[in-house]
A and B are shown apart, each in its own frame.
Chain A
Amino acid sequence: MKRILLTLLTLTLVLSTTFATGQGETETVKIGAILAVTGGASFLGAPEAKTIEMLAEQINADGGINGRPIELIIKDSAANPEKAISFAKQLIEEDKVIAIIGPSTSGETMQIKDLCESYKTPLVSCAAAEAIVKPVASYVFKTPQKDSYVAELIFQTMNSMGITKIGVVAANTGFGNAGKGQLEKYAPQYGIEIALAETYDRAATDLTAVLTKIKAEDVQAVVNWSIVPAQAIVPKNMKQLGMDVPLFQSHGFGNIQYVIAAGEAAEGIIFPAGRLLVANELPDSDPQKATLVAYKNAYESMYNEPASTFGGHAYDALSIIVEAAKKADSLSREDLRNAIEDLTGFPGTGGVFNFTKDDHNGLGMDSLAILTVKNGAFALY
């Protein structure tokens, strides 16, 4: 047994060295991606995959990473954590990627966080939960804004509107539960009372019963935290019940499809989100404007569908990896990691990234803007 193991070990060593020496200057740089292209979180993964495919083409046309073209290896996890784990292993061990983009959801990311850490492979997640970068794992980064910023911004807006008593509904998913937790954590700091907090099934189709319960509490506003299609059901159900208090939603509402689905009922919804959705409204002095408009126009002309902030997270992940790789001492995973951590003042679609040793998200609260829906389109509040 020992001998077999030894032979195997030598074999892998020999193979890996020949593989390493075989890499010439013109060889492609492999970057992996694990995205929920299909399945329940496909509204995240599909635009993300489309975005990086498009961006990789652009990057290669512009000369790749210091002359070496990049090669994307995209795996569809269908939002399944087990699949995410096996794909991560495959990408790290077999495909020898320099970094991994994704996964799309917080649950999957948390599953492979330790794996990437122990294999010393940079992971740039496209998922929102703060737990991904808190506590900091040295090889794990993320591009979407933290959910705590979203909760705090919602409460700041409520303070300015004089709202003190609210009801909260959240989807029973990793994203929804994390958001509900943040709201409950920060509410006392802003002097806001949560009269009722309820979670609903992610596939819920009618929420009038739970909203009736909230209505009975005489709340001044409702917060819905979900990325599931229920985001368009809550506003409709509220209007049908004759509830005219303002509805706040999370940054997950940043997809114009939900506005279309909610129709008239979407008018006046208040939510914090990245500036991608209002790119054309921004003043020219905004450091993000050039990136945002370029991404939005390229995506919309290529795929003939509106760009969403979710695709933007993947755009940021890939451009951060490529930017860091250009600056890194070598294309080893360790040097790449160091280069990502050193990246500052990098304008992405989510905000201006300033990574530090302790902050692997690199975005401040100013990366979010308060948006609303006006005449069926997103607008600055």
Chain B
Amino acid sequence: MTSEQILQYIFSGITVGSIYALVAIGYNIIYNTTGIINLAQGEFVMLGGMIAFSLSQIMSLVPAVVLAVLITGAVGSLIEIVIIRRMKKSSVLGMIVVTIGISIIIREIALFIWDEQIRALRFFTGNEISSIDIFGARISPQVLWIVGVTALIVIALYLFFRFTLTGQAMRACSSNTRAAKLCGIRTSQMVNLSFMLAAGIGALGGCLVSPLTQTHYAMGSELAIKGFIVAILGGLGNPMAAVAAGLLLGLIESFSISFLPMVYKDVISILILLVILVLKPSGLFGSRQTSSLKDF
């Protein structure tokens, strides 16, 4: 393999990995405040792409993306108020099943609104045929957008959870909901905020990848599975770990293609997941102590 090819596989892995990571971040935010694995996370990505596409027909790209993120965030918040909040007595597993139901409902509504055709948002810079040369490897400018914005989201989330009062309150909810309540934190508000945030980030991811991967009403479930693998791989509850795990999985998949037929790609990723879960059940970057305190 020449160095250009190695670099090309690395870029390919980073592109795919960033997409996985964007979904996994959403899982973690909701998991952190509620302990729920929200399997409708992939649908937020789909909604983001679809809404931005429709809006981009009547306005320019930036307001379309911003509005799509806000609308999807509102949808996330609405789902929490209308459904999740009323399920307080359900077990964690029950809640996960509820999120599967939500994902099906969103998908069917999307099919109703946008039909079964695929759609692609226009490229943020350049177009379908533009390509940037980086040390002999070629990538689409959109890849830089995906990687760049993912990095910004990660940094912003880190700062938010670490240094703002709201962020700290959300983390408190995840550590101990009752104690957080006793301290005067409105946990229901925090839960609502986490759904809004996860939906918004998912939607932003959906807008970023749409020019490359296209948006289809049924794309959510596939993304949800890959994102879930990445979230588990990194250790549930840690958005930074999810990004690292996402990139790792993307790179492994990409390099596996270089010497094995592509059909084995998913076999390899699932195999790695199994090995890690056996050796380190709390995930690559998770600590055993924290995970033993959690329900799921």
Residues of chain A whose beta carbon lies under 8 Å from any beta carbon of chain B: 38-40, 42-43, 46, 172, 198-201, 203, 205-206, 208-210, 212-213, 216, 229, 232-233, 235-236, 239-242, 257-258, 260-266, 305
Contact = CB atoms under 8 A, between A and B. Distances in A.
Contact of B257 (A39, A213, A236, A257): A213
B118 interface: yes
Nearest to A260: B120
Interface string B208-248: 01001110101100100000000000000000000000000
Contact of A39 (B11, B122, B138, B218): B218
B91 interface: no
A205 B5 contact: no
Contacts of A212: 5, 8-9, 12, 258
Q: Name the residue in A43, A208, A261 with the highest tally of chain B Cβ atoms < 10 Å from its Cβ.
A: A208
Given A209-B253, A263-B128, A203 B219 contact: yes
A198 B19 contact: no
Interface stretch (B67-75, B157-165, B181-189, B261-269): B261-269
Q: How many residues of B sit at the interface, in one of the four size bands?
A: 35 or more
A201 B266 contact: yes
B218 A206 contact: no
A240 B127 contact: no
Contact of B118 (A201, A239, A261): A261
B118 A258 contact: yes
Contacts of B174: none
Tell me which of A38, A198, A203 has the highest count of chain B C-beta atoms within 10 A of its own C-beta. A203
B129 interface: yes
A236 B118 CA distance: 15
B140 interface: yes
| Interface SS majority for chain A | helix
A150 B265 CA distance: 29
Interface string B1-18: 110010011011101100
Nearest to B265: A201
Contacts of B213: 205-206, 233
Given A203-B222, A239-B130, 13 more contacts: A43-B118, A46-B115, A199-B263, A205-B16, A209-B257, A229-B118, A232-B118, A239-B131, A240-B143, A241-B131, A262-B128, A263-B128, A305-B115
Contact of B262 (A40, A210, A216): A210
A216 B118 CA distance: 30
The 10 closest A-B pairs by CB, nearest first: A42-B116, A205-B213, A265-B128, A263-B128, A240-B140, A209-B12, A239-B129, A208-B12, A203-B222, A209-B257
Given A203-B219, A212-B5, A233-B214, A264 B12 contact: no
25 contacts: A40-B218, A42-B111, A43-B117, A200-B263, A203-B222, A205-B16, A205-B19, A205-B209, A205-B212, A205-B214, A206-B212, A208-B8, A209-B16, A213-B258, A216-B1, A229-B214, A232-B118, A236-B128, A239-B130, A240-B130, A240-B140, A242-B131, A242-B133, A264-B127, A264-B129
